[in-house]
Structure 1
Amino acid sequence: MLGLLFLLIASFPFKRLFRLQIHLAYMAMAFLTFLVVFTIVRDIAWLITGELAPISYVFILTVVSLIVGLINASRGPRVKHVKVPVNDLNENLIGFKIAQISDLHVGATIRKRYVEKVVKKINALKCHIVVLTGDIGDGNVREYREDIAPIGNLKSTYGSFFIPGNHEYYWNANEWLIVLNNLGTINLVNRGKIVKHQGADVLVAGIPDPVSRLTPNLDTKYADSASFKILLSHRPGIAPDAEKSGFHLQLSGHTHAGQFFPWTIVVKFVHKLSQGLHRVGNMWVYVNPGTGSWGPLVRLGTTPEITLLELVRSKEVRLIND
């Protein structure tokens, strides 16, 4: 019945209430997920104890989970400060700061006010560069141009760099690239740019998402002089190839860390690098769990995040939640 409700909401031709229609359809999806999970838990408890809990318990837990997840997702991202230890780091790059946002999904559920909140938090960090690692826009560009406009107010020492994710390609990546270029971000699809910081060169390069069917360019020979090389890749799975190409740090997203239970468990079986800081050979990889949310505006077991990465000479990795 709830499945039919989801289909009804999604297919009914609300034109003036399009965003509300999509939002309700997504919330029905989350409601159905929690309902199935708690029904299974109830049945397992019945097999173990021999007592069947009232079905009302399932509905209560479902509603509570949905409300908690909605509040957690709606209040916006936290800032996670990640110190990335680099062997023989050029002393001029100690303290170099990178703000990363990923999977913002500006569209039917993520609106202008949410984007303004993200931009305000990033600007307060006073970082050297901002990187946007895909799925920033999710939908028809013409409908969400105003919602994504605050991205043009991002401030950093050397600028903002963008690569599209799979969702931009689903909706026309070229249009999203044009809009984001007009907002001041630098397109790095199979391109690289040298950032000069206190006499040291930092390469910031990017590759397209696999759905684009473009061959990723991991050639860094043109930037052999760079003291530090950063790759922006929406999906983390390219990491072994990136490490072989000589990158020191890869920044990715895509996984949402599962976004809400039980997908927070499932995602770990689908993606080897599903969240956080990982070491792949001589390279570090950081997987942002998403600055926004896809589908249901629900986060349960995860939190939307802005990542502030700082290059350090250190033997320890420190995570600080601001």
Structure 2
Amino acid sequence: MFQLAAGLIGFYVIGRYVWPLKLGVIAKVILSAAVLVVAEHQWLVSQIAGSMASPESPRWLIIGFGAAYGALILLACFLALKDLLGGLLYLASRSAGVRVLAGRRLPHFMAVLALSLGAWGTSQAVRVPEVRKLELPVAGLAPEFDGYRIVHLTDLHISRLFHGPWVDAVVDKANMLNPDLILISGDLVDGTPEIRQNDYPPLGRLSAENGVYAVTGNHEYYAAFSQWIEVFRGLGVTVLENEHALIQVGEGSLVIAGVPDQIGPRHGQIGPDVEKALAGRPGGVPVILMDHRPGGAGNNQAQGVDVQLSGHTHGGHIRGLDLLVARFNAGFVSGLYEVGGMHLYVSNGAGLWPGFPQRIGRPSEITEITLRRSS
């Protein structure tokens, strides 16, 4: 379905921009073929090296395809808006509608703008994320946890694109915050441990007084799931699979719970069960839940969760397109939400899927969350 949609976008751009160009037929055919290669590059690369989830082509090629693909998507959106406007004008004035629909100057401007934004969006996607800070009031929080600082990481997508030096820089930034706790809400890696053996080791340097905890995202299941769980645990990361841990500071306590991604059963693994994850927790102690996808927030709140930390959406990648991403995630895409009294924080993520490395108006982030006692 994904490749079909990408192909249709490619043919739309060919029909509405490439073919009307004042070029010879051979030039149009070559340019059309290039558009289709860009549209289907994820599938084409997967046939040569790696997979759709983890392309193993050189980093410069992933960046180049990412910029071109982003430009293609943006140009298709611009052309669609032009055609919609032209169609509406046509209903009021045939001549005005035809001028918009058939005009060539505006599409050329759109193409230049799309190429520029595509290159810029990729540069924003691959940079080391900035720190985003917020304070969360939590009901029932013990005095000892007032001012408690959590670094939330998600969607690292360690890969050919987000390789060892990038991971090293992210770990350094997280550690410089000197957090009390580090929580990672899924999609840490793409590919196998063998392929990523030079990229993931910096995760072992993550340091927090009360430890490092994580849950799995959907990408952990696409290759060597069981091996990755052992790798994470070997690096000192506690992976919570429908489990919780009790963090104690002085006389105060805090429950940290985690559920695996919902794609687990398709790969012969367990699925999320928040009731099981919270079974046996002490009463009256606030609960922070890691759930990779934000869509289950309503159910999680009903189970007694006070704060949910999620990722998965990458913030929607691009302002405007994030509205579409939100529709597939129960309306949640980026930032802080209130769900029946529960705080849901959806991080834009530190990295993203290498198949669409675009960020425009949705910057990557390392999130520092400071807990406060609720009044």
Name which of structure 1's ranges 39-48 and 257-266 shifts more when overlaid on structure 2: 39-48
Equivalent in the alignment of 1:216 = 272
Which residue type is aligned with residue 313 of structure 1? R
Q: CA deviation at 1:291?
A: 1.0
The residue type equivalent to 1:305 in the other structure is: E
- The answer to whether residue 296 in structure 2 is matched with residue 235 in structure 1 is no
Equivalences for residues 102-117 of structure 1 within 5 A: 102-117=154-169
CA contact (8 A) 2:317 2:360 kept: yes
Matches within 5 A, 1:65-84: 65-84=117-136
The answer for unaligned runs of 5 or more in structure 2 is 1-31, 51-55, 90-95
Task: List per-residue Cα deviations over 1:26-74 (Å, max 9, x = no partner).
Answer: 4443232122112223434555563525232122101110121122122
Query: Matched residues in 1 for 2:155 and 2:313: separation?
Result: 9
Name the structure 2 match of 1:246: 304
Structural mapping, 1:89-168, within 5 Å: 89-168=141-220
Paired residues, number: 314
Q: Which has the larger radius of gyration?
A: 2
CA contact (8 A) 2:348 2:364 kept: yes
Task: Please give the TM-score of this superposition, normalised by the length of structure 2.
Answer: 0.77
Q: Counterpart of 1:35 in structure 2: which amino acid?
A: L
Residue by residue over 1:94-153, the C-alpha shift from the partner in whole angstroms, topping out at 9 and shown as x without a partner, is: 011111111111112111121112111111111111011001101222111221111111
Higher RCO (CA-CA < 8 Å; seq separation 6+): 1
1:302 counterpart = 2:358: no
Is the alpha carbon distance of 1:11 and 1:150 closer, same or farther for their aligned partners in structure 2, counting shifts above 3 Å?
Answer: closer
Q: Could you say which residue in structure 1 is the equivalent of 2:338?
A: 279
Distance of 1:176 and 1:164 partners within structure 2 = 10
Distance in 2 of aligned mates of 1:33 and 1:261: 13
Decide whether the 8 Å contact of 2:140 with 2:286 is kept in 1. no
1:56 matched to 2:91? The reply is no
CA RMSD of aligned residues (A): 2.2
Counterpart contact for 1:104–1:137, Cα < 8 Å: yes
Q: Distance in 2 between matches of 1:74 and 1:215?
A: 31
Instruction: Could you list the structure 1 runs, at least 4 aligned residues long, displaced by more than 6 angstroms after superposition.
Output: none
Deviation at 1:269, TM superposition (A): 2.3
- Which residue is equivalent to 1:319? none
Unaligned ranges ≥5, structure 1 = 316-322
Query: 2-side partners of 1:164 and 1:67: how far apart?
Result: 31
CA distance in 2, matches of 1:128, 1:251: 16
- Residue type matched to 1:308 in 2? E
Matched-pair identity in %:
28
Q: Are 1:6 and 1:25, in contact at CA under 8 Å, matched by a contact in 2?
A: no
